[in-house]
Amino acid sequence: MTKDSSAHLDFELDLTFDETRRRAAVITALGTGWDPLAVMRGEEEAYDLLYSGLDGRQQEIYDMLVASGVLPRRGPGRAAD
């Protein structure tokens, strides 16, 4: 290596193996009883319950938050970011 201060050293690190190992560990920790569709249905039910029964002012604030993108739009055709 030269004494030139403008010389750069390339450093690369492939995390593919570690990411694969991490994902496998997560799936193992979730176990065989994990049902992702049931979890998603449960989340939808929780949101439905959370936003049900709003009074007029609460509904107005909710609509404002949805319109400004703070809360996701609910209903068919919406997708996660």
Q: Is 69 exposed, middle or buried (0-12, 13-18, 19+ CB in 10 A)?
A: exposed
* Mean pLDDT calculated for residue range 63-77: 85
pLDDT for the residue numbered 67: 94
Higher pLDDT, 81 or 69: 69
pLDDT exceeds 90 at position 72: no
* Six-digit token string for 36: 């992702």
Predicted pLDDT of residue 14: 85
pLDDT digits (tens, 9 = 90+) for 16-55: 999 999 999 999 999 989 898 999 999 989 988 998 999 9
